[in-house]
Structure 1
Amino acid sequence: MGPGVLWRWFTGKYHNPRPEERVFMFLDIRDSTTLAEQLGDLRFSALVRDFMADLSNPVIATRAEVSHYIGDEAVLTWLPNRAFRDDACVRLYRLMRDRIALKAPYYLKHYGLVPGFKAGIHVGTSIVTEVGEVKSEIVYHGDTLNTTARIQGLCDSLGYDLLVSEALASRLKEPGHPLGEHKLKGKAEPIAVRGFFSQP
């Protein structure tokens, strides 16, 4: 869940919807459809399990929270003071790259490949609330999440493994490479993005 989440759940902080500034990262395994066809459902599920397990240490090291998983994608979030302390939100991606590189022999042995991944990061206001009675969960709603997902969707066309919004980059010590403004699906106004870790 992440630091402080269980406490906020027990204290009922999010029983009623409330706005909260948050940093979100959408982190996705590359070419998942191709990998699933190549490995088969069982082995691909095992690959996703191992990949998400390897994400644990970077999450803990950067004080991120795992909002939820969508198939082979992890949605991570931080409070701004944690995300921007030593550029923790970008550092998580770097730590994950190092972790997967270290585990490359394991992935090659078990799956015949080393998984690649891409991510988008954005900051903005979201609505957070607790939902459900049979299964209770803290969830986030709002345009910030949609924008983050759309930013991640630009990774391949722009040739970078990690893209961040200009709004987020302006608060980082390491601002990344400016890539200009881009139209996002469902957004009236274009958004400026910056890139980290250019693709070969």
Structure 2
Amino acid sequence: MQLPCALSFLVDEASDMPGADSFLAELGARLLADGLPLAGGSLTQAPPHPIIARRSWLWRADAGTVIQALGIGTAGTTGAEHAKADRDWLAGLGMVVMEEDAAGHGHDRAAIRWAATRPLDASELELLRAVARFAVAPLAVIAGRATLAALLETYLGRRSAAQVLAGRLRRETGETIRAALLYADLRGFTALSETAKPKEVIAALDAWFDRIGGAVHAFGGEVLKFIGDGVLAIFPIGERSSGAACDAALRAVAAARAGMNHLDKSRAEQGLPPLPFGTALHVGEMLWGNIGTADRLDFTAIGPAVNLVSRLEGLCRPLGRTVLLSGAIAAETTQPLVPLGEHRLRGIAAPCAVFALRE
């Protein structure tokens, strides 16, 4: 007995789909090939993600592709409201013929809905019910891959996560990349942690990391490390020019400063102290790869450029500046800067030309 086209796809091919969007598009096409008069469909999953609570993919039969992928924030929207939004969208295409078929459990749980151009007969409805049952296994595989990618990106960052997913799980020489580097650090954090309650300290850290990390990501950079109350981030060169990467880093610094100014005003209204910080920018090469023991690794960056940017940030307090730039990055930007002369940095042999932003 020959399986319907949609069921054959779910048994033999669906687990190899790269994502839920391509899964839904192909499944819808196979159901059309089986003669079902579908107008559209939706697939909703609840991925393990620090920001996204549910993700929906919406497919239109006339276009043949998934036209939207919605990342839904955690606050204020319930599962029932998500389901209603999906049904309302499908109702705009045709008759909703299957309200919801849930497959799987926990993060693997998925809701599949369909809309048709006419009422379906008993055999067509039975096929959709069979599709929901057969979809459990491939959707679990697809959800598992998405979960792994989301977890690695959350803890390692997008660039490092891609390397780990590609199978780089051994200590290696690594690769040398060129990037604009940003190192930022809170000042007086030790005193704050000694005097404030633990919850207040964590809240302050999270607020700080939101501002600096959010600014880095907004301008195409990537946070490599949270080091205590410090942040090491890069703006890789290659996808864009050296000058463009350095300008992106400078724009990220400007955005972070604006965010921290707003945060300090809010903290002042609550009777809390400000959160002063220092930031340094440099551009150079670094070695990027696995470091650690044979069975416990850390994907990180090392090299003279990383050492220099962290030491340069240490000059922010004695020089009375929030942002300092090395001579290497100053040579890559047309932004007006204030030269502060050459300075010796601890552990760095050659003196470093130091510049500051005009206040």
TM-score normalised to structure 2 length: 0.50
* Worse-superposed segment, 95-104 or 130-139: 130-139
Measure how far apart 1:7 and its partner are.
3.1
Determine if the alignment matches structure 1 residue 119 to structure 2 residue 271. no
* Worse-superposed segment, 110-119 or 141-150: 110-119
The answer to whether the Cα contact below 8 Å between 1:120 and 1:151 also exists between their aligned partners in 2 is yes
User: Would the alpha carbon gap of residues 105 and 151 (structure 1) be closer, same or farther in structure 2, given more than 3 Å must change?
Assistant: closer
Alignment match, 2:214: 57
The answer to whether the Cα contact below 8 Å between 2:213 and 2:223 also exists between their aligned partners in 1 is no
Measure how far apart 1:42 and its partner are.
3.4
User: Would the alpha carbon gap of residues 12 and 20 (structure 1) be closer, same or farther in structure 2, given more than 3 Å must change?
Assistant: farther
Of the three residues 243, 255, 269, the one matched with 1:84 is: 243
Cα deviation digits, residues 12-66 of structure 1 (max 9, x gap) = 5796412111221110112112222231433212211221123343122111111
* Worse-superposed segment, 78-87 or 61-70: 78-87
Greater gyration radius: 2
User: Would the alpha carbon gap of residues 135 and 62 (structure 1) be closer, same or farther in structure 2, given more than 3 Å must change?
Assistant: farther
Q: Which amino acid aligns with 1:160?
A: R
Determine if the alignment matches structure 1 residue 18 to structure 2 residue 175. yes
The answer to whether the Cα contact below 8 Å between 2:226 and 2:232 also exists between their aligned partners in 1 is yes
The answer to whether the Cα contact below 8 Å between 1:82 and 1:88 also exists between their aligned partners in 2 is no
Alignment match, 1:158: 319
1:159-178 counterparts in 2 under 5 A? Answer: 159-178=320-339
User: Would the alpha carbon gap of residues 106 and 42 (structure 1) be closer, same or farther in structure 2, given more than 3 Å must change?
Assistant: same
Q: Which runs of 5+ in 2 are unaligned?
A: 1-155
1:181-196 counterparts in 2 under 5 A? Answer: 181-196=342-357
Distance 2:301 2:347 in 1: 19
Measure how far apart 1:197 and its partner are.
5.3
User: Would the alpha carbon gap of residues 113 and 8 (structure 1) be closer, same or farther in structure 2, given more than 3 Å must change?
Assistant: same
Measure how far apart 1:108 and its partner are.
3.1
User: Would the alpha carbon gap of residues 82 and 107 (structure 1) be closer, same or farther in structure 2, given more than 3 Å must change?
Assistant: farther
Alignment match, 1:47: 204
* Worse-superposed segment, 170-179 or 66-75: 170-179
Please state whether the residue corresponding to 2:346 is helix, strand or coil: coil
Distance 1:63 1:134 in 2: 32
User: Would the alpha carbon gap of residues 105 and 162 (structure 1) be closer, same or farther in structure 2, given more than 3 Å must change?
Assistant: closer
* Worse-superposed segment, 99-108 or 46-55: 99-108
The answer to whether the Cα contact below 8 Å between 1:54 and 1:99 also exists between their aligned partners in 2 is yes
Alignment match, 2:187: 30
Distance 2:263 2:352 in 1: 35
Cα deviation digits, residues 90-131 of structure 1 (max 9, x gap) = 111110111122333432355612212111111111111134
Distance 1:155 1:177 in 2: 14
Measure how far apart 1:5 and its partner are.
4.3
Q: Which amino acid aligns with 1:39?
A: A
Please state whether the residue corresponding to 1:23 is helix, strand or coil: strand
The answer to whether the Cα contact below 8 Å between 1:160 and 1:195 also exists between their aligned partners in 2 is yes
* Worse-superposed segment, 130-139 or 116-125: 130-139
Distance 1:189 1:61 in 2: 34
User: CA RMSD of the aligned region, Å?
Assistant: 2.5
Measure how far apart 1:193 and its partner are.
0.9
Of the three residues 299, 304, 309, the one matched with 1:148 is: 309
